[in-house]
Chains A and B, each alone.
Chain A
Amino acid sequence: MKFPKFLAAAAVFYAVIMILSTLNILNGYFMIIINKSLIFVILAVSLNLINGITGQFSLGHMGFAGIGAYVSGTITAIILKLQIPHSFSMGAVGSEAIFIGAIIIGGIMAAFVGFLIGFPSLRLKGDYLAIVTLGFGEIIKTIINAIDYVGGPRGLSVPNFSNFTMIFVFAFITVAVIRNTIASSHGRAMLAVRENELAADLSGVDTTRYKVTGFAMGAFFAGIAGGLLAHLIYFTTPSQFGFLPSAMILILVYAGGMGSLTGSMIAAFLLTFLTEVLRIGIDWLNQTAKLPIGPEWTMVVYALILILVMLFKPNGLMGGKEAKILILERKTT
C-alpha cells in the first residue's frame, strides 16, 4: 500500500528541515513557526477525526489540549524540582524519556476526559452537541483557573523540552495512526456514523462505541499537542483553551476540508505562516505608519476566512479529498 511512500516523504521533509536548521539557514524563529505548524497539524487532524470523519460536532477541542498541557507540564515541573534522576535538566540523559512519558500521560488523561464527555453527548445531534462540547471546554477552563497549585489564571511555567524532532515524530505518528484508522473497517464504521447514523445502526454498527472512540482518540492526540505546545512556549494558561482557540482549530479543519487529512495538514502550515506574516505586517504598520493596529486583527482575518470558506468553498481547500500519497482506498475495478 501507499504507506511506504508517505513514510519516505515524511523522512525527506524531516531531513531537509534538520539540515537547514543545523546550517542555520532556518533560524530559531523560523523553527518555532515550523514547530507550531506541526502542533497545529496534530490538533487539526485530531479534530478532523471527531468532526470530519465521525461527524460529531465538537467545539471544545482545545479543552483536551489544555488537559494535556497541564498534566504534562505539572509532571515535568515536579520532576524538575525533585531532580529525579540526578541532574535532570534539558538535554540530560533520560530527560527525553521522561518528557515523552509526561506528554503521553497528558494525552491519556485527555482521552479519559474525552471518553467521559463522549457518553452523555452521544444522544445529541449537531447544534446541541456543539453547545455541550463548548460548555465542557469552558468548564475545563474554569476548573483549571480555580486550581491554585498550577497557578490559576496566571498560568503554569513549563520547562522548554520540546524540539523539532520530538514534535515531528509525534505529528507523524498522529497522522499515520489516524490515517490507518480511517483506512480500515473501523474507519468505514465511523464514516457510516457520519453519513447516516440510523443506517449504520441498522447495518450492525455499534454507533455508540464508534462515537466514543472517535472522541477519545481525538482527545488523546489533542492532549499530546497541548503538552508539546506548552513545552515549546515555556508556559500555559487557561485562556489558551477556551471557545475561541477551539474555534481556531475548527477554522483549520474547515479551510482544509472536513474529512481530508491532507487538507488539515496544509491548512495548519498555511495558516500558521499566515499568522506570522500578518503579525509582521501589523508590526511594520505600527512602526512606520504609526497606526495603532492591534494583533487581534490576525484573528479578525481568520474569522473572515471561516465565513468566506463557508459561503464560497464549504468543502475547503481539498474539497474533502486526500492527496494521492495518503489515499487509502484500494481500487477494485
Chain B
Amino acid sequence: MGSIINTQQVINGLQLGSIYALIALGYTMVYGIVRLINFAHGDFFMLGAYAAYASFYVFNSFIGEGSPLAFLVLIVAMIAGGAIASLSNLLAYKPLRYKPKLSSLVTAIGVSMFLEYFFSAFPFIGPSPRGFPEILPKVIYRGFGAEISNYVIIDLVVAAILMSGLTFLIQKTSLGRAMRAVSQDKDAAKLMGIDVERIITWTFAIGGAFAGAAGLLAGLTYPRIDPYMGIIPGLKAFIAAVLGGIGNVPGAMLGGYILGLAETFANAYNSILGDGIAFAVLIIVLLVRPTGILGEKIADKI
C-alpha cells in the first residue's frame, strides 16, 4: 500500500483535485441554476488553455517572463472561458430555456462538438497537440519524501483563492444572493424583481471563467494541450460534481479533491483502474446516494 498512498501521491492527488474542483464548480453552478448538464463545459476548459497559450506568446514580447506575465495570462484564460460560456448560453441555450430539457442537452452536445472540431480544424490551432510554454520557470522542492514543484503550489493556491472568492461572492454579495434565489426557485426570484436571465448569464460566465483558469493550470502542470483535451477531464469533473452533490458548490470542491486523490491512487496501482475509477465512482454514487455527499433530495410530486 505504501507505494500507492504516500506523500507524493497525496500531493499529486491534491494537484489534480484542484483542477477537477475548478471545472466541477462550473458544472454544478450551471446545473443548480438551469438544471442543465452543460456538455460543452469541458471545452471551456480547453479554450482557457489555448487562450493562455496564445496570450503568453502575445504578451511575452511586451512583458518579460515572470509573475506579472503569468498573472495576465491567468486573467486572459478566465476571460476567454467566461466569454465563450456566456456566448454559448446566449446563442444556444437561452432560446431553448423553456423547451424540454433534452433539447438543451443535445444542443450542448452540439456546442461541445463544434468547439472541439472548430479548434481542430482552424489553421494555426490545428488538431495536433501543442506543448504548453513554461510560463513560470519550474522549481522543484524536496521534502517529506516527496517532490513538490512550484506548479503544485500555484495550482493549490490559485484554486484556493478562486474558491474562496466564489464562496464570498455567493454568501456575501447581492449577486450571490440572487444566484442562490434563482437556483432555488426561478419563478419566485422573478417575482421578487430579479432579472433571471442576467443572473444566468453571470453564472455561466463565472463557471466558464473557472474552467478557463483550470485550463491554464492544466496546461502548466501537464504541458500538452490539444482540442480534445476537455472531453475526459470534463466528464470526470462532472462526476466529481455529482459525487459532491450536483448543484451544491462546496460539494463540487469536495468532490473534485476526492476524485483527484482517488484517481491518483488508482493510477499508481494500475493505469486502467485509474481511468475507470471515476466511472466506478459515478455508478456507486448513482446507485447508493444519487444526491451526492452534500446534496439534498428533491422530491418529485407524483
When A and B assemble into the complex, do they touch directly, with CB atoms less than 8 Å apart?
Answer: yes
B-binding residues in A (CB < 8 A): 57, 59, 120, 123-124, 126-128, 130-132, 134-136, 138-139, 142-143, 146, 198, 242-244, 247, 250-251, 254, 291-297, 299-300, 302-304, 306-307, 310-311, 314
Contact partners of B242 in chain A: CB under 8 A: 128
A127 contacts which of B105, B111, B235 (Cβ < 8 Å)?
B105
| A130-B105 in contact given A124-B286, A294-B126, A311-B95 (Cβ < 8 Å) | yes
A210 → B minimal CB distance (Å): 19
Q: B287, A311: Cβ atoms under 8 Å? A: no
B282 contacts which of A135, A254, A302 (Cβ < 8 Å)?
A135
Can you name 30 A-B pairs with beta carbons within 8 Å?
Answer: A59-B109, A120-B286, A123-B287, A126-B105, A127-B101, A131-B238, A131-B239, A131-B282, A134-B235, A135-B282, A139-B276, A146-B272, A242-B231, A247-B113, A250-B109, A294-B123, A300-B121, A303-B114, A304-B114, A306-B106, A306-B107, A306-B113, A307-B107, A307-B110, A307-B111, A307-B114, A310-B103, A311-B92, A311-B95, A314-B103
| Minimum CB distance partner of A135 in chain B | B279
Contact partners of A243 in chain B: CB under 8 A: 231
| Minimum CB distance partner of A57 in chain B | B102
The interface size bin for chain B is 35 or more
Q: B127, A294: Cβ atoms under 8 Å? A: yes
A142–B280 CA distance with the chains assembled, in angstroms: 14
- Among A142, A143, A300, max chain B CB count under 10 A is at A300
Q: A139, B110: Cβ atoms under 8 Å? A: no
B255 → A minimal CB distance (Å): 14
Contact partners of B231 in chain A: CB under 8 A: 242-244
Q: B106, A310: Cβ atoms under 8 Å? A: yes
What is the 8 Å Cβ interface bit string for chain B, positions 189-218, against chain A (1 contact, 0 not)?
000000000000000000000000000000
A128–B116 CA distance with the chains assembled, in angstroms: 22
Judged by a CB distance under 8 angstroms, whether B269 is at the interface is: no
Judged by a CB distance under 8 angstroms, whether B240 is at the interface is: no
| Minimum CB distance partner of B275 in chain A | A142
| Minimum CB distance partner of B121 in chain A | A296
20 extra A-B contacts, CB within 8 A, seeds A130-B37, A296-B127, A300-B118? A57-B105, A59-B109, A123-B290, A131-B282, A132-B282, A143-B272, A244-B113, A244-B228, A247-B113, A296-B120, A303-B113, A303-B114, A304-B110, A304-B114, A306-B110, A306-B113, A307-B111, A310-B107, A310-B110, A314-B103
A29–B287 CA distance with the chains assembled, in angstroms: 49
A126–B282 CA distance with the chains assembled, in angstroms: 15
Contact partners of B111 in chain A: CB under 8 A: 303, 307
Q: B113, A299: Cβ atoms under 8 Å? A: yes
B41 → A minimal CB distance (Å): 12
Judged by a CB distance under 8 angstroms, whether B146 is at the interface is: no
A303–B113 CA distance with the chains assembled, in angstroms: 6
A128 contacts which of B127, B276, B286 (Cβ < 8 Å)?
B286
Residues facing A in B107-138 (CB within 8 A) are: 107, 109-114, 116-118, 120-121, 123, 126-127
A139–B282 CA distance with the chains assembled, in angstroms: 13
A320 → B minimal CB distance (Å): 13
Judged by a CB distance under 8 angstroms, whether B99 is at the interface is: yes
B235 contacts which of A138, A244, A247 (Cβ < 8 Å)?
A138
A297–B106 CA distance with the chains assembled, in angstroms: 20
A291–B121 CA distance with the chains assembled, in angstroms: 12
Contact partners of B276 in chain A: CB under 8 A: 139, 142
4 A-B pairs with least C-beta separation: A296-B121, A303-B114, A306-B110, A303-B113
B246 → A minimal CB distance (Å): 9
A292 → B minimal CB distance (Å): 5
Judged by a CB distance under 8 angstroms, whether B302 is at the interface is: yes
A146–B270 CA distance with the chains assembled, in angstroms: 12
| Minimum CB distance partner of A125 in chain B | B101
| Minimum CB distance partner of A300 in chain B | B117
Judged by a CB distance under 8 angstroms, whether B283 is at the interface is: yes
Q: B37, A127: Cβ atoms under 8 Å? A: yes
Contact partners of B113 in chain A: CB under 8 A: 244, 247, 299, 302-303, 306
A142 → B minimal CB distance (Å): 5
Contact partners of B278 in chain A: CB under 8 A: 135
A120–B280 CA distance with the chains assembled, in angstroms: 12
Q: A126, B95: Cβ atoms under 8 Å? A: no
A193 → B minimal CB distance (Å): 15
Contact partners of A251 in chain B: CB under 8 A: 110
| Minimum CB distance partner of A142 in chain B | B275
Judged by a CB distance under 8 angstroms, whether B232 is at the interface is: yes
Q: A123, B286: Cβ atoms under 8 Å? A: yes
